[in-house]
């Protein structure tokens, strides 16, 4: 069982307010008890919403997150609040997916992660954006 549960402030906190943007939303993590093993975690948010930066019209989509944790795992309630914080943010779909990836990698430093945004059609065209991260393996310099 995770030894640092008392550090999770959002889970079971009884609060249901939503942050007003990703800069105000915290992504909480907990210790990965199986750090010695590679395994995938899949997370899907079917209610992602942001706003078009030009027209202000809403963009609806599904955000799919898949990662191999290293030392930390993402706590899902904080992730939900983080993703919901985009509801009033004017951002292009491409930027949203890449920003989500950057913020999640910074929060948990996984071995691998991919974020896919599947956005509903507006003007007859749907868009899918995929961004991925792979932890760089440390190499030993043989010249020294």
Are the C-beta atoms of residues 58 and 49 closer than 8 Å to each other? yes
Q: Is 73 a catalytic residue?
A: no
Q: Which of 54, 116, 117 is nearest to 91 (CA)?
A: 54
Q: Is 45 a catalytic residue?
A: no
Locate tokens 């914080």: which residue? 85
Are the C-beta atoms of residues 81 and 18 closer than 8 Å to each other? yes
Q: Which entry of 38, 44, 45, 52 is annotated as an active-site residue?
A: 52
Locate tokens 């990698």: which residue? 105
DSSP, res 76: H
Q: Which entry of 23, 38, 45, 59 is annotated as an active-site residue?
A: 59
Give the bridge partners for 55, in sequence order.
none
Gyration radius from the chain CA atoms: 17
Q: Tell me the catalytic residues.
A: 52, 59
């Amino acid at each position: 069982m995770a030894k640092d549960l008392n550090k999770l402030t959002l889970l079971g906190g009884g609060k249901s307010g939503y942050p007003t943007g990703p800069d105000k939303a915290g992504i909480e993590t907990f210790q990965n008890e199986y750090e010695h093993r590679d395994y995938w975690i899949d997370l899907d948010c079917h209610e992602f919403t942001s706003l078009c930066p030009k027209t202000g019209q809403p963009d609806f989509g599904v955000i799919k997150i898949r990662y191999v944790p290293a030392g930390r795992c993402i706590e899902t309630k904080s992730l939900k609040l983080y993703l919901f914080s985009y509801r009033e943010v004017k951002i292009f779909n491409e930027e949203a997916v890449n920003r989500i990836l950057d913020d999640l990698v910074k929060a948990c430093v996984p071995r691998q992660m991919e974020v896919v945004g599947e956005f509903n059609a507006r003007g007859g065209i749907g868009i899918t954006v995929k961004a991925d991260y792979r932890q760089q393996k440390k190499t030993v310099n043989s010249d020294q």
